[in-house]
A and B are shown apart, each in its own frame.
Chain A
Amino acid sequence: MIIERAAYISMVIMTISLFIAFLRLVKGPSTPDRIVALDLITMLTLGMILAYCMLTGQFVYLNTTIILALITFLGTVAYARYLEKRVL
Chain B
Amino acid sequence: MIEWFVAILLVSGAIFMLLAAVGVLRFPDLFSRMHATTKASSFGAGLMLLSVILHVQELFIILEAMIVLIFIFLTAPVASHMIGRAAYFLQVPLWKGTIIDELHDRYNLHNHTLASESPDSATD
Contact = CB atoms under 8 A, between A and B. Distances in A.
Contacts of A21: 21, 24-25
B116 to A, nearest CB: 20
Given A3-B7, A16-B18, A24 B25 contact: yes
B68 A35 contact: no
Interface string B37-62: 11001101100110110011010010
A85 B89 CA distance: 10
A14 B7 contact: no
Chain A interface helix/strand/loop/mixed: helix
Contacts of B41: 39-40, 43-44
B67 interface: yes
Interface of B: 3-4, 6-8, 10-11, 13-15, 17-18, 20-22, 24-25, 30, 33-34, 37-38, 41-42, 44-45, 48-49, 51-52, 55-56, 58, 61, 64-65, 67-68, 71-72, 75-76, 78-80, 82-83, 85-87, 89-90, 92, 112
Interface of A: 2-3, 5-7, 9-11, 13-14, 16-18, 20-21, 23-24, 30-33, 35-37, 39-40, 43-44, 46-47, 50-51, 53-54, 59, 62-63, 65-66, 69-70, 72-73, 76-77, 79-81, 83-85
